[in-house]
Amino acid sequence: EAQVTQNPRYLITVTGKKLTVTCSQNMNHEYMSWYRQDPGLGLRQIYYSMNVEVTDKGDVPEGYKVSRKEKRNFPLILESPSPNQTSLYFCASTHYLGSEQYFGPGTRLTVT
């Protein structure tokens, strides 16, 4: 089954404790992205990757890092999480520019 998976689905952590949210897709897509969804602010792109070892900032990259060492995986790293990073995070993948993006199930992160 074609899908995007994310782990964990729910995470409660404390300020400053490094964490990684994993994302994996099995559709051999070139493009992958991370979005965060916040009430009143909608969905905003954090980082994206056009292929292995090619990543760049989206609209709201501050406080996040990513890597793309393999085509299928695109982890999101929060080196020192802060409460303003409490959000619902989505990973997405797509085959080419302009095509539909397929989203993972979401990771609900709470930073206290």
Site size toward other proteins (CB under 8 A) is: 26
In contact, 58 and 46? CB cutoff 8 Å: yes
Question: Based on CB atoms, which residue is closest to other proteins, 47 or 85?
Answer: 47
Query: How many Å apart are CA 49 and CA 29, to the nearest integer?
Result: 10
Work out how close the CB of 1 gets to other proteins at its nearest, in angstroms, rounded to a whole number: 14
Query: How many Å apart are CA 94 and CA 29, to the nearest integer?
Result: 5
DSSP 83: G
> Could you check whether the bond before residue 8 is cis, i.e. omega within 30 degrees of 0?
yes
Q: Give, as ranges, the residues between 15 and 54 that touch other proteins (CB under 8 A).
A: 31, 33, 35, 42-43, 45, 48, 50
Sign of CA dihedral 55, 32, 20, 82: positive
Work out how close the CB of 45 gets to other proteins at its nearest, in angstroms, rounded to a whole number: 5
> Does 63 contact other proteins by CB under 8 A?
no
Which range of residues in 19-27, 67-75, 79-87, 93-101 is near other proteins by CB under 8 A?
Answer: 93-101
Q: How far is CA 83 from the centre of its chain?
A: 17
Residues that bind other proteins (CB under 8 A): 31, 33, 35, 42-43, 45, 48, 50, 56, 58-59, 88, 90, 92, 94, 97-106, 108
